[in-house]
Amino acid sequence: MVNVLSTNKQSWDEAAERFFGRNPLPEYGPMAPCEDELNLFGDVKNLKVLDIGCGSGHSLQYMKEREAAELWGLDLSKKQIELATTLLENSAQPVRLFESPMEVNPGLPYDYYDIVYSIFAIGWTTNLEKTLANINSYLKKGGIFIFSWEHPLYSRIGNKDGVLTFGKSYHEEGSYDHEAWNSTAIMQQFRVSTYINALVDNGFQIERVIEDARWSEEDAQRHEKRWYTYEKAKAIPTTLIVKCRKL
């Protein structure tokens, strides 16, 4: 695990500028429904929020603008934490950021947060069970956990000359080096059922599972010849979104 974390840390330190402000809340992922439509968070005013994989801090900035009481975040990348610190330095709310992998508690309080969320970051974990157990321990009873991640089908299916084909079995799970990255980046591949069952096993009640896609004429041009393409999104969801609650 240490080697994977070290590799991913280096990859994110190198890629941080390239991903600055990309797809933060209210977006959940490329060509996916936005929070403005889904309203999964509801009113966050005066609530304590924690961002798992906070990146450049733009999702926390979204929470700041909606008057969350406290802004907390953690990220594996030192560079990302530096960018988030700069972005949020003039916040009226308390901001506490930690450079840490999500599998480790870097000093976060237990039974404290009203909302924990993770936008397109959960698949970087090296231990899904440990990460979800940590998240459950941070939340108050009845607290909400919301996450989005690349849909498990998306990387398994390729698009060659308009023909969609399976590149590997949906049943295959585990770590893989993501081909869309410029350097080595080790992510985790799980089925939808694996996420759902792991959440249940770690004390969560599932409230919503969303696999919808959204696109526009702008998306057809914006995502041309990229990893997330308009052509594939018409047939396969790019993003899995789950809302659950601590029992």
CA angle 67, 108, 205 (to 5 degrees): 75
Average pLDDT over residues 68-82: 97
pLDDT band with cut points at 50, 70 and 90 for residue 21: low
- pLDDT averaged over every residue in the chain: 92
- Over the stretch 133-168, which tens digit does the pLDDT of each residue have? 999 999 999 999 999 999 999 989 988 877 888 888
pTM of the model: 0.94
pLDDT grade for 227, boundaries at 50, 70 and 90:
confident
| Cross-strand bridge partners of residue 149 | 240
Query: pLDDT tens digits for 186-203?
Result: 999 999 999 999 999 999
62, exposed or middle or buried, with CB in 10 Å at 0-12, 13-18, 19+? buried
Domains, the chain: 2-246 (3.40.50.150)
* Strand arrangement of the beta sheet that strand 70-75 belongs to: 95-99, 70-75, 48-52, 113-119, 139-150, 239-246, 204-210
Q: Is the preceding peptide bond at 26 cis, omega within 30 degrees of 0?
A: yes
| 3-state SS assignment for residue 232 | helix
| % of the chain exceeding 90 in pLDDT | 71
